[in-house]
Structure 1
Amino acid sequence: MTNPCPCGLPEPYAACCGRFHRGDQHAPTAELLMRSRYCAFAVGEPEYLLATWHPDTRPMRLRLDPAQEWTRLEILGRTGGTLLQNEGTVEFRAHYRYRGQGEAQYENSRFVREDGRWYYVGTV
């Protein structure tokens, strides 16, 4: 049996977030972009994170800490961000282990769709 995607959905990585990371498709909703970005942290895809970060708020570079192991994602809420909208938020808690210690990061992220693609803008 194949393990589910790190984003928390039941599909295997290749069929779930992997299709976005490979560039086969773009995430169709703000929530799926958020899940694929979490997954990019989990599997070590900084290029995908930068490519899906809005140019107005994107850092010049991004280095992922290999000591940080992302373990679980909880979606706490969402507003907008559907197939027919151009803005949305996703509230989540991302769990990780850092040097043996369990931690969690809470965030309410803002997303916008431009030219048919969703981008992470920042926190609300």
Structure 2
Amino acid sequence: MKKKVFILALIILVVGFGTYKYIYQDHRDIASEEANFTTTVQDIFTSFTDNDSLANAKYLDKTVALRGKISNIDVANKIITVDEKLSARFAGKLPENIKAQDSINLKGRLVGFDDLLEEIQMDQCTVVE
């Protein structure tokens, strides 16, 4: 009887530990990930305006490297706008050497497309040299 209780307790412990490890996985480190796609802001924007559901299936929650020209910089919120079509939120503080109208290469996680603002959303962005 004691052996059965011990085995049952061991099984519950193993299943509980496995469930805990599955639920509380480490967060993704986008900066160290390899980009799934490398393209321009205009190409991704065209993909979303042509077929939103197909573009969501292809790009959503993927690491994407994009290039374009900086339109606006919001230092307080750590957001830059690229080609007036991409809103990129940085994980850390903004690089100090960027300014409006500079060309930039970004890597980040594509969060989605805002139909109302017609803007692509990215977060956890870093500048790629």
TM-score (ref. length: structure 1): 0.26
Q: More helix per residue: 1 or 2?
A: 2
TM-score (norm 2): 0.25
